Amino acid sequence: MQTGSFQWMKSLNKSTILNMVRVHGPISRAEIAKLTKLTPPTVTNIVNELLQDGLIVESNLGESTGGRKPIMLRINASRFYVIGVYARLGRLDAAVAHLDGKMVHQCAQELPLQMDQTAFIKALQAIAKEALAMAEADGQPVLGIGVGVRGLVNPRLGELVFAPHFNLKHVPIKTMLEETCQLPVEVENDVRAMALAESWFGQGKELDNFITVYAGAGIGSGIILKNELYQGVSYGAGEIGHTTIDIGGPLCWCGNKGCLEAHASTPALVKRARNMMEGGRKSVLHEMVQGKLSQLTEEHLFAALKQGDELAREIFIYAGECLGIGLANLINIFNPLRIIVNGSLTRAGANLMEPLSHTVKKHALSSSANNLSITVSDLGNRAALIGAYTQVLRKIFAPGA
């Protein structure tokens, strides 16, 4: 089998059957024929090819419906690896995973906060190589690398178009990594990668229409519509952080005023707490930073919340209300079945989620909100990394998507 390309998946029937085994396995050849409406000889031929490729294996015998017990097929999950890389400000993470999404190795690397394009690419290549070396040490072939990165991404070109937080433009991630690693590379925005992770392995698994919202240092969303990741015409879909929730509100780094991100991202909340304290509000935060308000961070806010500090509690209630407005707007536009919230703000627990739900109920049209659930992601801070390699799994199992 040839790694370095997805050529062996060029037949649609082949990927359909492979995906059928992934979703329904262990499954018999007869059941596959029944579900796919392909003829039994076609199924037998393609199954033989997949067995030869090592992508599936014959497992235990199934239940008989009269005659001989059928031989069951399942994905040979541990036969191959996929690699995921997650790039955010100050840090790179990489993971090696089985075809069933199980993470088997991880590595990480700190990044300088200021770096040029060459240094950024070099760091990406280095961590991809480190992950590849871990796979090689196990003697396992790798089928591809997926990258999730903060910023505007063109997935078709595999290019990081604009990353204001890295201060980088037009980084050809796919081209550079494919050259170094000699493997197919997929690139996506980090929050959209999180939505993919939820769709394959998280709370979006059974859902055709749901939205993942990330709320932390930035705010964004990943939209799954009719079981597909919606990217938008120029790949800008889901940027709820820059929807206006307050005309004339505080200035956002994007140049607009009153963006959701300028109100409820962690830097905005830190700034809000600082302003309140400068205005005379008492809080344990004063002692935590020994009066040096410029040193206040989100960690202090979470610590103060844990100690029952009233100001910290107000800050997170405010964040919940702002996010609730952003979510209500999303709900009125997309009418999803679920919104899965992720990001560091979820650490505030009910202090965030209760005012959030309450605000959604108040502001979203009840016809859209009635069937909706708002949950906190189970994948937590692994979501972007899982989503990064899920891009490769999607290419293998569902190339039509």
Which residues are annotated as catalytic? 190
Cα(first)–Cα(last) distance of the chain, in Å? 23
Judged by beta carbon, residue 250 or residue 349, the one nearer Zn ion is 250
Closest CA to 225 of 337, 343, 390: 337
For residue 315, the one-letter residue type is I
Angstrom CA distances, 233 to 119, 180, 355, stand at: 30, 30, 34
Stretch that binds Zn ion, among 33-41, 245-253, 263-271, 298-306 (CB under 5 A): 245-253
Residue 374 neighbours by CB under 8 Å, 6+ apart: 327, 338, 339, 341, 353, 356, 357, 360
| Closest approach of Zn ion to the CB of residue 254, in Å | 3
Q: How far is the CB of 78 from Zn ion (least distance, A)?
A: 44
Number of residues lying near Zn ion (CB under 5 A): 5
CB-nearer residue toward Zn ion: 19 or 189: 189
Length of the chain: 401
Stretches 3-11, 157-165, 247-255, 335-343: which one binds Zn ion (CB under 5 A)?
A: 247-255
Nearer to Zn ion, 242 or 394 (CB): 242
Q: Which is nearer to Zn ion, 210 or 318 (CB)?
A: 318
Q: What tokens appear for 35 in the block?
A: 């579900």
Neighbours of 184 (CB within 10 A): 22
Query: Of 154 and 243, which has the nearer Cβ to Zn ion?
Result: 243
CB 157 within 8 A of CB 172: yes
- The region of 14-22, 161-169, 242-250, 330-338 touching Zn ion under the rule CB under 5 A is 242-250
Among 171, 191, 252, 296, binds Zn ion (CB under 5 A): 252
Shortest CB 292 distance to Zn ion, Å: 29
DSSP reduced 3-state for 12: helix
> Which range touches Zn ion (CB under 5 A), out of 1-9, 236-244, 272-280, 321-329?
236-244
Q: In the complex, what is the shortest distance from the CB of residue 262 to Zn ion, in angstroms, rounded to a whole number?
A: 6
What span, in angstroms and rounded, lies between the C-alpha atoms of 259 and 289?
28
* Nearest Cα residue to 17 out of 282, 398, 286: 398
Q: Does 260 bind Zn ion (CB under 5 A)?
A: no
Does 254 interact with Zn ion (rule: CB under 5 A)?
A: yes
Residue 251 as a binder of Zn ion (CB under 5 A): the answer is no
Q: How many other CB atoms are found less than 10 A from the CB of residue 136?
A: 13
- Bridge partner list, 376: 341
Measured from the CB atom, is 207 or 322 closer to Zn ion? Answer: 322
**Least spacing, CB of residue 163 vs Zn ion, in Å:** 15
- Residue 61 CA, distance from chain mean position: 37
CB of 149 to Zn ion, least distance (A): 19
Exactly one of 82, 259, 322, 364 binds Zn ion (CB under 5 A); which one?
Answer: 259
Is residue 147 a contact partner of residue 131, using CB atoms and an 8 Å limit?
A: no
Does 263 bind Zn ion (CB under 5 A)? Our answer is no
Helices (H), 281-382: 285-288, 298-306, 310-334, 350-363, 366-369
Sign of CA dihedral 390, 395, 398, 399: positive
Give residue 149's identity as a one-letter amino acid code. Answer: V
Q: Which region, judged by CB under 5 A, interacts with Zn ion, from 70-78, 118-126, 155-163, 234-242?
A: 234-242
CB of 256 to Zn ion, least distance (A): 5
| Residue number with CB closer to Zn ion (256 or 335) | 256
313: left (phi over 0), alpha (psi -120 to 50) or beta: alpha
Q: Does 242 bind Zn ion (CB under 5 A)?
A: yes
CB of 77 closer than 8 Å to CB of 98: yes
Closest distance of CB 82 from Zn ion, Å:
34
Nearer to Zn ion, 201 or 235 (CB): 235
> Could you list the residues that contact Zn ion (CB under 5 A)?
242, 252, 254, 256, 259
